Structure 1
Amino acid sequence: MAEHDLERRLSLRQATAINMIDMVGIGPFITLPMVIGMMNGPYFLYAWVAGAILSFVDAMVWSELGAAFPKAGGSYNFLKEAYGEKGMGRFMSFLFVWQTMIQAPLVIASAAIGFATYLSYLVPLPGLWFKAASGTVVVLIIILLYRRIETIGRISVLLWGGVLVTLLWIIGGGLAHGRFLEPLKHINDGLKLNYAFIAAIGYSSVKTVYSYLGYYNVCHLGGEIINPAKNIPRSMFLSIAGIAVLYLLMNISVTSVIPWHEIREHDFVLSLFMQRLMGSTAAKVITVLILWVAFASVFSATLGYSRIPYAAAADGAFFKVFARLHPTRKFPYVSLLVLGSVAFVFSLLFKLKEVISAILAMRILIQFISQAIGLLLLRRKRRAADFPYKMPFFPLPAFLAIVMWAALYCATGTRLMLAGIGVAALGTAVYLIQARMRREWPFRPYKPEDKGFRSL
């Protein structure tokens, strides 16, 4: 099916809600004790600020590309356009889809596993029961997403309402406690600006950035956004600003009730927080709301990722079956079902801490760094009028994004760095075999109509 068969029905409000519920998810609740443990001091808030800064800088890159190429698939189209549609762009976009088929189900599975983790606070989930709970979440998400996009937009706004209620209750609880500003008074206690602090910021930022990921989800839905030239950048910056404020306030609220050195020892920090403030009943209610947040995150992430294999297949660069749209509801149902099935399997196989760093390690090289470099190439080849949104102080933010992502990649650790390179290497081998059979780049001679090929 052609790209125009997708319908532009998502408003700015709905697009922002989809971004935000993807960003929040279970991430901030499960990474809060991890970040405090890595920073090992009251200055852990700086790691959350660092994650917000990186997200904001990178969003400038996404905004330029998303506004200029508002199509389903996001990075698939950006890489293809940047590196040459008939040249190296085919290779780069293929690599992106290749790693998406692995890391997207990991993202979905991580949220589902996080859901089961917090559910075990309410109901004991030994062994197979824990895996059954996480797998069931994925199945329910697929059922909810099996419908028209405007209905999904309304569901997203409803889910975001529950996310907002959860965060505001947590923040309000700390305010009512009366010691809300106490963590800020001691934020620099014991702080030394040395290599140890910089290293701690780097390692802990792997976890905070994981909690911010999703600000670009709207780009994967580019073919379904109303007025994309304006709404795609707006939804991203609104999402990051809003979520950064909520994350900082939530961290301050929790540490105003539970000392930071105690938080790092608990898995159910938010449940413990509410239990100390209002008792066991309130702790159970907040746990239910956190489960709502985790469910909303899986919903949003699965929605965005399902458009990537579809976009590649519709373009003739992936298996044709993924290009099928539902005959009446107009959504890529094959892509949705396949990614959901892989995520279901991953939710049964992996543990939460194993997937968080792996998700970043697989994304950074092919998606974030290559995409920023691609924007620099596009700005040289295209007219300024081709970019409805232009980042301030270009090209400084693009270079800064590349440096920051490279540093974060190193912070994931040698094993995961090699795993990310291994996935890319295997994808390269598969592409070269396929390209040889189809006589595509780099196995076909240059032709004048091959736009972007000569310059690369």
Structure 2
Amino acid sequence: MQELSRKIGLFQAVSINMSQMVGIGPFVTIPLMVGAFGGPQAIIGWIAGAVLALADGLIWAELGASLPGSGGTYVYLREAFQYRTGRLMPFLFVWTAMLFIPLIMSTGVQGLVQYLAYLWPSMTRGQGDIVGIAVIALVMLLLWRRVENIGRLTVGMWAVMIVAVAAVILAAFTHFHPSLAFTWPAHAVDLGSGTFWLGFASGLTIGIYDYLGYNTTAYLGAEVREPGRVLPRSIIYAIAAVMGIYLLLQIGVLGVVHWQDMLDSNNVASQSVASAVLQDTWGKGSADVVTVLILVTAFASVFTGLLGGSRVPFDAARDGVFFKSFGRLHRKYDFPVLGLVAMGIVTAAGFLLARHVGSSAAHPPLAILITLLTTVMVIVQSFAQIAAVIVLRRRQPNLKRPYKLLLYPLPLIVAGIGWAVIYGYADKANPGVHPIEWSLGWVVLGVLAYLVWSKAEKTWPFGPKQIREEYAEGADATVSQPSR
């Protein structure tokens, strides 16, 4: 059977994570964050998002280092929950990931087209649709190759991302006005106000969306060299670096652009805030150049996201927990073919949905997609991985853990509170959208699909559980247990 080869080193791994984390996110969500908080106090959202990202990233670091398989969360849930619910949890994760990962990528494509409109102001909606689909097709073409070649390409795009972000930050701080960034409206932080906490929950959702990507290399665990050392470092280094970048970027932008302009749909700052910064500071020519760099950055985030996402169903298919065709590698280039194709198709569908869903100032399509994505992800990934750390420490105490959570269980508690705030306020922050109901409905459909599949495969609850501690020291072959 063909196996994935370990070709990705530490620098490439950090580059992959950072490219996916930064991407187009902060350039399109700064106005959304300002809208959520109602002023420059939006910086609170970035700080809160950073705290949640770090706490959750430490969870990924322990799980990724001890269970370095292809598929990330799939492997962790398979190992942790096999004792009581058989293959249900890994099946649900793959079911969910096949939706939320490419939809995250679709927001990146949408942001790319949004910034392209700065250079092409006469672009129609139909032309934007064509551009977005063409971008997705190009990403698919570039991913149709060996992973070691992809690693080198990713480092190049990572360098462009650094230049783009550095240019915006430098331009902002050479024309920085502290009064714009640090003059907050009256009662900006009213801890006794329900409005503040509603804005905080919305801001935290936007913030963690922008940090998402710190876990990309965990999905590529079977292709990372020395995963016990490289995976934790790639996650922690990427989060620390991007924390600094985001804080500088947010403060710098707020010190140049009036925050009210970001809420005006007729102002360029509401759609292309980084371009507005460059235009106001270094002139239109510089704004055009940096906008091109931002487009490359957006492309890099979609590229690395589909690279990692396409590996998610691979291990599940090899284990017989997903359709077998997803477990086949390309005969020449050794990458999961169907996973890449399927995620590309869903990305295109999500992009077109975001383009054509009715929008309003209160509920822009990107904000709605971000909320729907995070609420689905919280149930089957975020909460489940917190439980997985606890279960694995109890069920597999001899599991080799090259990295163990610092200050355990504090990161679990902080992450749990953060994800609970995002999920609990989702409906109130998005009236009429019903993200909680949609997320629960998707999970229920997944359970029904699992029951149909498990009956056909004669596995739990219609057959014996398959207990396989693949990564434990001295682990034996698969052991069947009677269904209880």
TM-score with structure 2 length normalisation?
0.89
**Alignment partner for residue 106 of structure 1, among 88, 103, 108?**
103
Q: Is the 2:172–2:277 contact (alpha carbons within 8 Å) kept by the matching residues of 1?
A: no
Letter in 1 for 2:151: G
Q: Which runs of 5+ in 2 are unaligned?
A: 265-269, 356-364, 429-433, 469-477
Q: Deviations over 1:267-319 (max 9, x none)?
A: 11111111111111112112111111110110010000000111111111111
Task: Output aligned runs, 1:2-17, within 5 Å.
Answer: 5-17=3-15
Query: C-alpha offsets along residues 68-95 of structure 1, whole Å, 9 cap, x if unaligned?
Result: 110100000000001116x524100000
Q: CA deviation at 1:185?
A: 4.5
> Is residue 175–residue 256 contact of structure 2 (8 Å, CA) maintained in 1?
yes
- Asked whether 1:225 is paired with 2:221, we answer no
**What does residue 294 of structure 1 align with?**
298
1:280 maps to 2:299: no
SS at match of 1:386: coil
Residue number in structure 2 paired with 1:377? 391
CA distance in 2, matches of 1:51, 1:81: 29
- Give the equivalent residue in structure 1 for 2:117: 120
Structure 1 residues 58 and 452, CA gap change in structure 2 (3 angstroms) = farther
- Establish whether residue 391 from structure 1 lines up as the match of residue 405 from structure 2: yes
Give the drift of 1:380. Answer: 1.0
Residue of structure 2 in register with 1:366 after alignment: 380
Amino acid at match of 2:199: A
Mapping 1:183-332, distance limit 5 Å: 185-186=182-183, 190=187, 191-195=189-193, 196-265=195-264, 266-332=270-336
Q: What corresponds to 1:41 in structure 2?
A: 39
C-alpha change, 1:422 and 1:118, in structure 2 (3 Å) is: same
Q: Which amino acid aligns with 1:429?
A: L
Distance in structure 2 (CA, Å) of the matches to 1:291 and 1:17: 17
Percent of aligned pairs sharing the same letter? 35
Query: 2:196 is aligned with what amino acid?
Result: F
SS in structure 2 at match of 1:413: helix
CA distance in 1 between partners of 2:405 and 2:185 (Å): 33
- Cα distance in 2 between the residues matched to 1:340 and 1:367: 21
Per-residue deviation at 1:346? 2.5
Mean CA deviation greater in 434-443 or 347-356: 347-356
Q: 1:447 to 1:72 in 2, by over 3 A?
A: closer
Distance of 1:28 and 1:50 partners within structure 2: 15
Give CA deviations for 1:400-434 in whole Å, capped at 9, x if unaligned: 21222121112322601111111100010010011
Deviations 1:335-364 (A, max 9, x none): 111211222232223234232111111111
- 2:77 corresponds to 1:74: no
Q: Is 1:432–2:429 an aligned residue pair?
A: no
Amino acid at match of 1:371: Q
**Residue identity matched to 1:375:** V
> Contact 1:35–1:207 at 8 Å: present in 2 too?
yes
Q: CA RMSD in A?
A: 2.1
C-alpha distance 396-454 of structure 1, shift in aligned 2 (>3 A)? farther
Match of 1:91 among 70, 73, 88: 88
Q: Deviations over 1:128-178 (max 9, x none)?
A: 111111111110000011111111001110000010001111111122225
Flag the 1:451–1:57 CA change in 2: closer, same or farther, 3 A: farther
Number of aligned residue pairs: give it. Answer: 452
Q: How much has 1:452 moved relative to structure 2?
A: 10
Residue type of the partner of 1:284?
A: D
Cα 1:177–1:209 change in 2 (3 A) is same
Give the deviation of 1:451 after TM superposition: 6.2
Cα distance change on mapping 1:321 and 1:13 into 2, 3 Å: same
Shift of 1:187: 5.7
Whose helix proportion is higher, 1 or 2? Answer: 1
Instruction: Check the 8 A contact 1:84/1:451 in 2, yes or no.
Output: no
**C-alpha separation between the residues in 2 aligned to 1:385 and 1:317?**
23
Task: Report if the CA contact (8 A) 1:113-1:134 is conserved.
Answer: yes
Partner of 2:154: 156
